[in-house]
Amino acid sequence: MSPVRLNLLRGFELVVDGVVVDIPSSAQRVVAYLALQPRPQLRTSVASSLWIDLTDERAGANLRSALWKLRDLRDQVITARANHLSLGADVNVDVTAVVRDARDLLDDDTAHSELDLRGHDLHLLSADLLPEWDEDWILFERERIRQLRVHAIEALSRRLSRAGRHVDAIEAGLCAVAADPLRESAQRVLIEAHVAEGNLADARRQYVTFGRVLWEALGIVPSAALGRLVGISDSERGAIDQREQLR
């Protein structure tokens, strides 16, 4: 049986034996849905989740049609047993690998003495799940995985800083900020990376930029603890915040 790889980060891509295979959108959604489930799903549950606005009868018909459209690939991609469906056991999914890596980074008991930051690892940790899809069932999964990814990137930045790998730590911090510019914990790891490298000016500049973005978006200011991280006193912080509010 040919090796199968399913990529869901940054968009849907099904690769069979090294070749990208195009399948209809309805079949894509069935495959992606099953890939994100931890256990086999009832056919009726799959149908009702993917076609929530249709009757059970019509949703079931759509599911059968989507499975038929997979044709010769169906047995490689999907396992069907009685009334249950699941992703094929031999399908490698990028999301599964990223979730595993993220949990490993968040595990304090995991040894990282030989921590290696490779560009494609950070690239995947920074990627959103099926960003152009807007169905209800995908929104929760996208946010769940995004939260896990951002926490992992923050942990990675801190680990790299402790290892003295400041350039890589800053790169990871920038990726955390790019994933959520309004997230103070992401801003904190980037500022901490600048401070660890001895670049207080860069750290202060990042604090001021964050304060401006935060005020414009939400009408709030960074915490006093973040200000103290860059050596800004409470009185100086108040002056900076007031200046930004008057811009």
Nearest to 87 by CA among 23, 5, 145, 13: 5
User: In whole angstroms, how far apart are CA 16 and each of 29, 82, 221?
Assistant: 17, 26, 50
Extents of the domains making up the chain: 4-89, 107-245
Supply the pTM of this predicted model.
0.83
Report pLDDT digits (tens) over 105-148.
Answer: 888 655 554 455 444 468 888 899 999 999 989 999 999 999 99
The per-residue pLDDT for 95 is 95
- The domain defined by 107-245 folds into 1.25.40
The per-residue pLDDT for 246 is 55
Q: How many angstroms separate the CA atoms of 223 and 233, rounded?
A: 12
The per-residue pLDDT for 232 is 81
Tell me the pairing of strands 13-16 and 41-42. Answer: unpaired
pLDDT beneath 70, residues of the chain: 1-2, 108-121, 234-247
With respect to CATH, is domain 4-89 assigned 1.10.10.10? Answer: yes
The per-residue pLDDT for 239 is 61
The per-residue pLDDT for 237 is 62
